[in-house]
Structure 1
Amino acid sequence: VSRSLVEQLGLKTALYRDLSWWHQGECLDEASLKGMEVRGDLATSSLYLSIPQAYLDYVSEDWDPPSRWDEGIPGLLLDYNLSAQTQHQIQAGTRGYSMSGNGTAGANLGAWRLRADWQAQLNHQTGSGQPTDKRLDWSRYYAYRAVPALRSKLTLGEGYLDSGLFDSFRFGGLSLRSDDNMLPPNLRGYAPEVTGVAKSNAKVIISQQGRVLYETTVAAGPFRIQDLNDAVSGDLDVRVEEQDGSVQTFTMSTASIPYLTRPGSLRYKLALGKPSDLDHRYRGPLFGTGEFSWGVSNGWSLYGGGLFGGDYNAAALGIGRDLMLLGALSFDATQSRARLP
């Protein structure tokens, strides 16, 4: 099996690095990939490979890898939402009207998305003697882009701190956070992994109360199903049907809380900047914050974070556990220090 052919198999990166080669590094040592079966057919000049499913990278019909993503074309946009109403007071003999709107104006240039959020209001009362009230506010200026290599979103400008551990506030600066929208639909959020060992090419069926939720075929050897939908909860029935007619069955339960992360996955949020107000004035010291949630194993997640800025510093650390039949549980501790003037 040549190196070029192995590169087309879709092996996980960590596994590919541990492979052994011979013939001056051009041919795969098949023993270095435990469970792999190689069979040649000289009559048809065909090569048949059987590789345990757990060794392969995730693929999906409704998701393209980052190498196929397109940044789109340059352009301008205006997003708006308008509403209007009129009033007529017969006894007072006055008429009035009001209009309000909000939305986003922006431009796309390469990978960057430039945006400005706006709000507008117009009020007029005929016969009241008051001038027409007009107001247009640009509430937020920012730019963002995707960072496919990190499965993350980078934002520059004004925004609000997005944190699951600390209070949110308005600030200006930059933020980098993992973006689940860059993952295949069935790898977003939290769901447990279903693992097992197939004795032969087998069909794996996952159902709940008789309704099939997931069905796939795996090769002989260890398998790992990691793309259950994050909406799945409760008792799951797993059935492994072997080629010889034998059947393996087992049951697992699952639940979720916000801090749980899929096994082996890391979610994070980083931000650096200064607090700001609605008039775009920066107030307060420079701060930095970060938080993470790491799926340690199937059902266990470690999470924590810190907020550091001037006279206020805080750190948090916690652990989340999927208790299966009993639900889910998280425990965390936060320590903060503030120096008052």
Structure 2
Amino acid sequence: MDINTAKADDYFDPAFVTDPSGKVLNVDLSPFEKSSFIPGTYRVDIYINDQYANTQEVLFYSDKNQGQLQPCLSDTQLAEYGVKPEYYALLEKSGECVSFKDISGVKAEFRGGQNRLNLSIPQIAFDQRILEAKQELLWNDGIPAIFTDYNLSGIHQNDTKNHDISDSLYLGLRSGINIGAWRYRNYSTWSRDTNGDQSWENQLNYLERPLRSIKSNILVGDNFSDSNVFDNVSFRGIKLWSDDQMRPAYANVYAPAISGVATIDSTIDVYQNGYVIYRTNIPAGPYELTDVVPLNSGSNLSVVQRGVDGSERRFIVPFSSLDFLQRKGGFNYSITAGQYRMNNQDSDNAGNKTKFVQSDAFYGLTDNTTLFGGFQAASRYQAYDLGIGMNIPVIGAVATDIMFTRADPDNFDSMNGRAFRFRYSKSLTDTGTNISFASYRYMSGDYITMTDMFDNYTGRVDTSAYLMRKGQMDITVSQDLPEFWGMINASVSHQTYNTYYSNRERNVESYNIGYSNALDSFTYTLNYSYYKNTINNRNYNNNFFEKERDNDHVISLNINIPLSGRFKDNWISYGASYNKDNDFDNYVGVGGLALENNNLSWSVQQGYGNHDRGNYGSVYGRYRSRYGDANAGYSYKNDNRRLSYGLNGSLMMSQYGATLSRPLGDTNGLIYAPGAEGVRIINSAEARTDNSGLAVVPNLIPYRNNLIRLDPLSMPDNAEIDTTLKEVYPTRGALVLINYDTYLGKKILVTLRDRNGDIIPFGAYTESDDKTERFYVSNYGRLYLTGVGDTNNIHVIWGDDNQYQCDFSYTTEGKRRVNGLYIFDETCL
């Protein structure tokens, strides 16, 4: 016997809904055939290709052919969302509503439970720039607020042999005020040393705001310059610089353009390290992809072009990058003007408070070439730099620049210097090799940086013995070994210094090589490092002789073994080291996590060192709470005993009240869910709302879509929220309000029967007071309501006639309650 299968749409036959006598009740069940929502106007979040576009009221109508509620959107609205005119013009209209069924790949999906409308539009018909411009309108400067971030630490030390007891304290404060787009920030520290001497320092003190129209920030006050060409310096003045975060993600990360020709409509997949990082559909003809965002800056891009006829073409786009490389047409800049500030701000050195201007810029000349340069100018110092950076196929990313300087220091002739710099980066995916090379060779003895000039060559009587850096070389290489064999990494650094008259020189060298591996969860590392510091003096015969020398080498081994089973959040560790003086140290330790959400971390170590250094050990613990972090530790070694402790957190004050929280980030959010206390924020495991429904979410990403999720299982019994997910686009430094509509009241599950004892039929409903929401009766006459009072009168409808409507009253007093839900039966009359 042949058995054929067929698929049919869901259909609810109203004939099955009858009264006790068998009479059909004519309950309208059509909304349940494809959706649990009825046609009408809903306020929804609109997403285009999974990117948030807008929140607005949209009319939804029932389309029997589509089988689901369809949005009524005009062609004008589609154009605003980024659908290209040549494509939305083809959409069939029904009045003001376009039909999505006539173009392949264009889909609309209404998720009523999430108040969300998903629009899927093929890349070929979608203009990303329009949506990006629309998202800029969502940038949120946040609410007015005052905050302070604190970090308190202390040490109590006891030298039992010498009967010496000492205490020291440190307090760091990062405070700020937000008003509109303006941000005021102050970084201050207070300390008391072991002698009881106290000091207070204002390290940074400035006013800042974003300039959206030019994708930049402006800052006035005490801060540091921001440069990729020169050394950053402390200043008091003004700074203007471009902000990459204001640009789309693809625009602030360098990648070469991918171009080619398609003979037929095709799909392009771009792979990096085996992962698909980009996919788009293209029509027949030439194409150029300029919005690919790579996973990393050193692996080639593999491109697969698949035609609709099944044809396939593959090719490689070589890719290596350095931090400052720009896409074609990309432009970054920084300008700083003001007074130079020495580390010792109260210094009477003439270099302190010297007025200067500093600027640099980077421009993407082609897909693979970036030009850059800059200048520094002060009354007695000038520097000019010009360079080029390139992504060279096969070779890698290369950059070189040359700097010219002129200085007029006190007690010396004018110094005209030159410096040459070379940088290189390459990742060989096939072999797992990563190479980073930077070589600086200061080509003349008269080269001097602005920092050296102002700190050491201005207002000093004798600077002939001061050592200036003249050369530096840094190389870092890492190599992935075959599977299960781990990784090797190595680094070399060499720096040279000499005096103005070149009669004294210093060489600092360091070498490091390490091996690491992981077998399941067992990890171990083996490392060797060598350090050498040599100072030579030139004698009267103009020959160098070694005057001072300091060197050391260290071999170390570290092993970490996680436990399993009931101790899965704990581990055992072992470490050992050996140096040139034949000092051998080794220790064994245990540590772990404890309490709910692993709020408590702890460790205990015990070690031993030879050469009469004896035993040593330590105990350390850290507790992370929604109000801040606390830590404490105790250690001993020979005759020394040391107790350390610390607290860090923040206090935020706004129009919604004061809130204690863990340390803040640069950009933060404030959740406000009035009446909902103790709700957990999934984005931050320790964060929970306080008794005012407030909670701070730190470390939001500026100018990007941040998803904030609440844990519905942590909601209190007397509260419900309309949605657990919110999205915000904060500007840099903002405190954005994340407001949740909270419905306070009881939650009830009532089984309804009529006067004859028969259950109220499936599909009956009651409406909210404002008629915007319906609550439907489910199987067995059950009705679930939230946010209701202790007593209430409810009207239930399942037909137009009065005989198909009823009312019931209830009180929660004396009713059965399970997990905050009142469960009872009522008669609807």
Matched, 1:178 2:178: no
CA spacing shift, 1:5–1:109, aligned 2, 3 Å: closer
Matched, 1:166 2:256: no
1:101 maps to: 171
CA spacing shift, 1:280–1:104, aligned 2, 3 Å: farther
Deviation at 1:99, TM superposition (A): 1.6
CA distance in 2, matches of 1:100, 1:324: 52
CA spacing shift, 1:92–1:251, aligned 2, 3 Å: closer
CA distance in 1, matches of 2:321, 2:298: 8
2:146 maps to: 76
CA distance in 1, matches of 2:240, 2:216: 7
Asked if 1 retains the 8 angstrom alpha-carbon contact of 2:385 and 2:402, the reply is yes
| Residue identity opposite 1:247 in structure 2 | E
Deviation at 1:64, TM superposition (A): 7.5
1:142-291, aligned counterparts within 5 Å?
142-208=206-272, 210-221=274-285, 222-229=287-294, 231-277=296-342, 278-279=344-345, 283-291=352-360
CA distance in 2, matches of 1:88, 1:305: 53
CA distance in 2, matches of 1:210, 1:91: 62
Describe the superposition over 1:57-89 as per-residue Cα deviations: whole angstroms up to 9, x where unpaired. 44789x973221011111111112222121223
Q: Rg larger in 1 or in 2?
A: 2
2:460 maps to: none
Deviation at 1:334, TM superposition (A): 2.1
1:337 maps to: 406
Deviation at 1:133, TM superposition (A): 2.3
| Residue identity opposite 2:391 in structure 1 | D
| Residue identity opposite 2:368 in structure 1 | G
Q: Mean alpha-carbon deviation: is it higher for 80-89 or for 3-12?
A: 3-12
2:711 maps to: none
Asked if 2 retains the 8 angstrom alpha-carbon contact of 1:74 and 1:109, the reply is yes
CA spacing shift, 1:235–1:51, aligned 2, 3 Å: closer
1:56 maps to: 127
Deviation at 1:120, TM superposition (A): 1.5
User: What 5-or-longer segments of structure 1 have no aligned partner?
Assistant: 13-27, 31-35, 125-129
CA distance in 2, matches of 1:297, 1:230: 21
Asked if 2 retains the 8 angstrom alpha-carbon contact of 1:207 and 1:237, the reply is yes
Deviation at 1:324, TM superposition (A): 2.4
Asked if 2 retains the 8 angstrom alpha-carbon contact of 1:234 and 1:325, the reply is no
CA spacing shift, 1:232–1:167, aligned 2, 3 Å: closer
Deviation at 1:227, TM superposition (A): 3.0
Q: Mean alpha-carbon deviation: is it higher for 155-164 or for 189-198?
A: 189-198
Asked if 2 retains the 8 angstrom alpha-carbon contact of 1:52 and 1:219, the reply is no
Asked if 2 retains the 8 angstrom alpha-carbon contact of 1:234 and 1:324, the reply is no
1:127 maps to: none
Q: Mean alpha-carbon deviation: is it higher for 86-95 or for 135-144?
A: 86-95
CA spacing shift, 1:60–1:252, aligned 2, 3 Å: farther
Deviation at 1:123, TM superposition (A): 3.5
1:22 maps to: none
CA spacing shift, 1:93–1:209, aligned 2, 3 Å: closer
Deviation at 1:157, TM superposition (A): 0.6
Asked if 2 retains the 8 angstrom alpha-carbon contact of 1:188 and 1:230, the reply is no
1:115 maps to: 185
Asked if 1 retains the 8 angstrom alpha-carbon contact of 2:253 and 2:293, the reply is no
CA spacing shift, 1:89–1:212, aligned 2, 3 Å: same
SS in 1 for 2:325: coil
CA distance in 2, matches of 1:6, 1:59: 11
Describe the superposition over 1:263-299 as per-residue Cα deviations: whole angstroms up to 9, x where unpaired. 2211111111111234368935432221111111111
Deviation at 1:220, TM superposition (A): 4.7
| Residue identity opposite 1:81 in structure 2 | N
SS in 2 for 1:325: coil
Query: Which of 317, 326, 336 is the equivalent residue of 2:386?
Result: 317
| Residue identity opposite 2:266 in structure 1 | A
Q: Mean alpha-carbon deviation: is it higher for 251-260 or for 219-228?
A: 219-228
CA spacing shift, 1:7–1:73, aligned 2, 3 Å: same
SS in 1 for 2:137: helix
CA distance in 2, matches of 1:292, 1:257: 15
CA distance in 2, matches of 1:7, 1:310: 55
Deviation at 1:37, TM superposition (A): 9.8
SS in 1 for 2:300: strand
Describe the superposition over 1:74-121 as per-residue Cα deviations: whole angstroms up to 9, x where unpaired. 111111222212122334444332221323111111111111111121
CA distance in 2, matches of 1:263, 1:270: 22
SS in 1 for 2:245: helix
CA spacing shift, 1:334–1:7, aligned 2, 3 Å: farther
CA distance in 2, matches of 1:191, 1:182: 18
Matched, 1:137 2:137: no
SS in 2 for 1:245: coil
Matched, 1:85 2:149: no
What TM-score do the two structures reach when normalised by structure 2?
A: 0.34
SS in 2 for 1:149: helix
Asked if 1 retains the 8 angstrom alpha-carbon contact of 2:358 and 2:377, the reply is yes
CA distance in 1, matches of 2:148, 2:164: 35
CA distance in 2, matches of 1:158, 1:93: 44
CA spacing shift, 1:280–1:154, aligned 2, 3 Å: farther
CA distance in 2, matches of 1:107, 1:38: 49
CA spacing shift, 1:336–1:95, aligned 2, 3 Å: closer
Where relative contact order (Cα < 8 A, 6+ residues apart) is larger, the structure is: 1
Deviation at 1:301, TM superposition (A): 0.8
1:17-56, aligned counterparts within 5 Å?
39=90, 41=92, 53=124, 56=127
CA spacing shift, 1:59–1:193, aligned 2, 3 Å: farther
SS in 2 for 1:254: coil
1:8 maps to: 80
User: What 5-or-longer segments of structure 2 have no aligned partner?
Assistant: 1-73, 107-120, 411-829
2:362 maps to: 293
CA distance in 2, matches of 1:333, 1:91: 58
CA distance in 2, matches of 1:162, 1:280: 23
Deviation at 1:8, TM superposition (A): 2.6
What TM-score do the two structures reach when normalised by structure 1?
A: 0.78
CA spacing shift, 1:39–1:90, aligned 2, 3 Å: closer
| Residue identity opposite 2:217 in structure 1 | K
Deviation at 1:184, TM superposition (A): 3.5
2:529 maps to: none
CA spacing shift, 1:314–1:6, aligned 2, 3 Å: farther
Asked if 2 retains the 8 angstrom alpha-carbon contact of 1:52 and 1:223, the reply is no
Q: CA RMSD in A?
A: 3.5
